[in-house]
Structure 1
Amino acid sequence: MIQRAVAACFALSSFAAFAAPTTLHCGALVDVRTLSVVRERTIVVDAKRIVRIDAGYTPAEGAIDLKGHTCMPGLIDLHIHFGSEFTPASYTEATRLNPPDYAIRSVVYAEKTLLAGFTSARDLGASPGVSVALRNAINEGRIKGPRLQVAGGVGTTGSHGDPTNGLRADLMGHPGPERGIVSGPDQARNVVRQRYKEGFDLIKIATTGGVLSLGKSGDAPMLIDAELMAITTTAKDYGMPVTCHAHGTEGMKRAIRAGVQTIEHGTYMDDEAMELMKKHGTWYIPTISAGRFVAEKAKVPGFFPEVVRVKAAAIGPLIQGTFAKAYKAGVKIAFGTDQGVAPHGENAREFEYMVEGGMPPLEAIRAATLYGATVMGLEKDLGTLEPGKIADIVAVPGDPVKEIAVMSRVSFVMKDGVRYK
């Protein structure tokens, strides 16, 4: 009996090893390195990698017909919150939902994101344990979702990351390092080490206030230089990039000088901040989608608490304009939406906002492919359609150069050589 079982397992593994490659016939293919579109290409995928790209349509039994579609690398969103999706009930839900509730929601939102063509992403903040568990479950093949890198937060009292902002005094308490809230370099250093121990891939800080948190300022600086240096140097020792939420200029400049990898939002970015970003090689993740969403909802009576509505009305409309200035100034820009503010699965609307802001369509696609992979440190395997790369491939019906809105109508999704749509 054991011999028969072993023989059966060997036969199955042999079949997997010699399974026929998958062939895609693409009407057009986006080359994000040269910012060009080439016509009539065949992509051959064996196991999880691209083995060949041929000119023309190479005959193959069972070839997937995408002749009316444009193929491109799997898309990458560098700023998502998978555990939630913003509604007027979000503030009251925070007082009654537990991490398992958010974990269940994250499973739904992760699959929506994958089917929208985003095969890789960064989760930049979730309830305790949720994002690590989500990433692990996706990696193990238990649920469907993008390949994830997840961030653990480090913040200061009253900052955008303080979970007790806006609570009444007896509930507010004095959260400390056990909740990621630090005072001074030593506590900051220790929380980074704890986040590494907990299994996070990167560190998320907020050097200014935020829009949706219940603190009154959206742009005041929130971390001092000594704390920032403790965070970035310790994170570097542990191999963890640091991403920084920042709206105000002073907090942004402190973070850039301290060596963060990315600035998220960047609303009040000025010329000096842009020059600092270019000098230090800092990436800008605009999240125009979040700005547009909160600006629209600020006009809806009762959608936000008043302390939030004021900030949303002031900050939200500015992000697209900041993006336009940063693009013209030559700041490095990669794609990120802050979905979880705006609805999950609608990530691709960011492409439309980027094009409205002056970025050509192919550059916007590069920001969400090659540049996204570069920020994640995965450019050797992802971000372009080339032989040897992991087969993350998406397709849209039509020509995104002529109509960028087709990016929201993804018709084909392959991740790791597996077809999901």
Structure 2
Amino acid sequence: MTRTLFTGGKVFDGTGSPTAEADVVVENDRIVDVGTGLDGDVVVDATGHTVLPGLFDCHVHLMFGTPDLVHSLNTPFSLPFYEAIGNMRLTLECGITTVRDALGADLGVAEAVRRKLVAGPRMQIAINMVSQTGGHNDDWMACGAHVASIPPHPGRPNTVADGPEELRKVIRELVRAGADVIKIASSGGVMSPRSNPRHAHFRDDEIAMIVQEAAAAGIAVMSHAMSADGILTAVRNGVRSIEHGVFLDDRGIEEMLARGTWLVPTLMAPRMLLEQAAAGVPVSEVVLAKAHVVAAQHAESFRSAVDAGVKIAMGTDSGVGPHGDNLNELTLMARNGMKPAQALHATTLSAAELLGVDNELGTLAPGKRADVVLVEGDAEQHVVDGTLRQAIRAVYQDGVRVI
């Protein structure tokens, strides 16, 4: 077996230990040793670099690339599957070797990566988002037409449902289609013109049924939840993570702490939408107004969650805006209450724990998969400066250099 030695650099191992000088040794697809004075057959000189575990983004949409609905209406059905190949490449270039696709990618996209037909981050897929009638994933428009960015197809079942029994069937259909995680919308959202992000969606008996059915299949539930009540209902009924959490209040924080629920804040999401609107991308006035309200509140609730000690994992909502800017989320986290090392922890071990893969990924430790990222200079300082993406020099996935 060939031993590859990463030597001369400083290691951020993801465990919470401070960055320190160390070597990392990889054999085939596994890390076999981390320490000083190690040897190897092939030497990678990491002098002047920080060595990181492969990073995570826990909320992406690899099949999306713009909020422009007119553009989507004029896009051939199969084209986003091919565009996803480029989006996955851009994600890898950020040092992100694992993602959770929160709506869009189906089993075929995930399998293409698993079978190494295309290069991309390993992924967990939600396939579609479960929504109540009139909720965040109901594509009914005021004109009476149904207009979806990606319409339902054999690999992506329709997921608008009401009442526990309808929802039971929908969850089973998603599991049948290959979902690794169930995503619901327990509040309205920004980009759905007929929903209000301050309103809670689904009742306790509905979310309880969703969580029960997901648990029976051995998978977790993530909840798009912006409103305080929507967050609280989701958390008390057992969802594993709250996505966005814009109007998170003290009651919600207390419940999340009691139940060990993660927050995936996606601070980038409203900002990406506003930036694209400013650049001339057509965005409806209704959606734009909601984005302004959400952006103003988002950082405040995030700071409260950080101060209280809520578990946080990094997610961006990339696909609402451009792919490849994912690491800007770490800088926003650092500028809104997190220390740089905390932000890096949120995209390494904490994220791996959320996705249930911390036995394989998330840290540089013997026995773990050899996902390794080389960053020129001080990674923590790059988080502060917003220059981490530009400093990435190499990305390894399962011991193979992919970037």
Shorter-chain TM-score tier? over 0.9
Q: Deviations over 1:192-244 (max 9, x none)?
A: 01100011101000011111122242221121121111111111111111000
Residues 416 and 60 (structure 1 numbering): CA distance in 2 closer, same or farther, change over 3 Å? Answer: closer
Alignment pair present for 1:42 and 2:23 = yes
* Residue equivalent to 2:312: 333
Alignment pair present for 1:368 and 2:347 = yes
Shift of 1:384: 0.5
Residues 169 and 221 (structure 1 numbering): CA distance in 2 closer, same or farther, change over 3 Å? Answer: same
The alignment's C-alpha RMSD in Å is 2.0
Secondary structure of 1:383's aligned partner? coil
Instruction: Specify which of 104, 119, 140 is matched with residue 144 of structure 1.
Output: 119
| Counterpart-to-counterpart distance in 1, 2:228 and 2:102 | 21
| Counterpart-to-counterpart distance in 2, 1:241 and 1:95 | 32
| Counterpart-to-counterpart distance in 2, 1:376 and 1:170 | 36
| Structure 1 counterpart of 2:389, one-letter code | S
Residues 249 and 101 (structure 1 numbering): CA distance in 2 closer, same or farther, change over 3 Å? Answer: same
Asked whether the equivalents of residues 58 and 99 of structure 2 are also in contact (C-alpha less than 8 Å), the reply is yes
| Counterpart-to-counterpart distance in 1, 2:183 and 2:382 | 35
Asked whether the equivalents of residues 6 and 24 of structure 2 are also in contact (C-alpha less than 8 Å), the reply is yes
* Residue equivalent to 1:407: 388
| Counterpart-to-counterpart distance in 2, 1:351 and 1:313 | 21
* Residue equivalent to 2:136: 160
Alignment pair present for 1:27 and 2:6 = no
Instruction: Specify which of 61, 81, 102 is matched with residue 80 of structure 2.
Output: 102
* Residue equivalent to 2:47: 67
| Counterpart-to-counterpart distance in 2, 1:216 and 1:317 | 19
Instruction: Specify which of 234, 257, 260 is matched with residue 281 of structure 1.
Output: 260
| Counterpart-to-counterpart distance in 1, 2:381 and 2:272 | 25
| Counterpart-to-counterpart distance in 2, 1:193 and 1:171 | 24
Alignment pair present for 1:313 and 2:288 = no
Alignment pair present for 1:194 and 2:173 = yes
Q: Deviations over 1:263-318 (max 9, x none)?
A: 00000011001001111111000001113223444556763111111101111232
Of residues 316-325 and 365-374 in structure 1, the stretch that sits farther from structure 2 once superposed is: 316-325
TM-score for the superposition, normalised by structure 2 = 0.93
* Residue equivalent to 1:51: 32
| Structure 1 counterpart of 2:20, one-letter code | V
Secondary structure of 1:252's aligned partner? helix
Instruction: Specify which of 110, 118, 122 is matched with residue 100 of structure 2.
Output: 122
| Counterpart-to-counterpart distance in 2, 1:82 and 1:254 | 29
Counterparts of residues 252-271 of structure 1 (less than 5 Å): 252-271=231-250
Q: Deviations over 1:70-96 (max 9, x none)?
A: 001100000000001125xx2113334
Asked whether the equivalents of residues 100 and 123 of structure 2 are also in contact (C-alpha less than 8 Å), the reply is yes
Q: Deviations over 1:313-361 (max 9, x none)?
A: 1112321221111100111111111111121111111111011012111
| Structure 1 counterpart of 2:17, one-letter code | L
Instruction: Specify which of 86, 89, 93 is matched with residue 66 of structure 2.
Output: 86
Asked whether the equivalents of residues 116 and 408 of structure 1 are also in contact (C-alpha less than 8 Å), the reply is yes
* Residue equivalent to 2:331: 352
Secondary structure of 2:246's aligned partner? coil
Shift of 1:400: 2.2
| Counterpart-to-counterpart distance in 2, 1:358 and 1:178 | 39
Instruction: Specify which of 322, 326, 342 is matched with residue 343 of structure 1.
Output: 322
Residues 23 and 231 (structure 1 numbering): CA distance in 2 closer, same or farther, change over 3 Å? Answer: same
Secondary structure of 1:179's aligned partner? coil
Q: How many residues align?
A: 393
| Structure 2 counterpart of 1:115, one-letter code | E
Asked whether the equivalents of residues 283 and 334 of structure 1 are also in contact (C-alpha less than 8 Å), the reply is yes
| Structure 2 counterpart of 1:110, one-letter code | M
| Counterpart-to-counterpart distance in 1, 2:84 and 2:327 | 19
Asked whether the equivalents of residues 79 and 339 of structure 1 are also in contact (C-alpha less than 8 Å), the reply is yes
Asked whether the equivalents of residues 270 and 292 of structure 2 are also in contact (C-alpha less than 8 Å), the reply is no
Alignment pair present for 1:206 and 2:185 = yes
| Structure 1 counterpart of 2:101, one-letter code | D
Secondary structure of 1:94's aligned partner? helix
Asked whether the equivalents of residues 28 and 399 of structure 2 are also in contact (C-alpha less than 8 Å), the reply is yes
| Counterpart-to-counterpart distance in 2, 1:67 and 1:391 | 19
Asked whether the equivalents of residues 130 and 160 of structure 2 are also in contact (C-alpha less than 8 Å), the reply is yes
| Counterpart-to-counterpart distance in 1, 2:85 and 2:78 | 11
Asked whether the equivalents of residues 397 and 406 of structure 1 are also in contact (C-alpha less than 8 Å), the reply is no
Q: Deviations over 1:99-154 (max 9, x none)?
A: 4221111111011101210000000001xxx4321111000011011010000321
| Structure 2 counterpart of 1:255, one-letter code | A
Secondary structure of 1:79's aligned partner? strand
* Residue equivalent to 1:112: 90
Q: Percent identity?
A: 34
Larger radius of gyration: 1
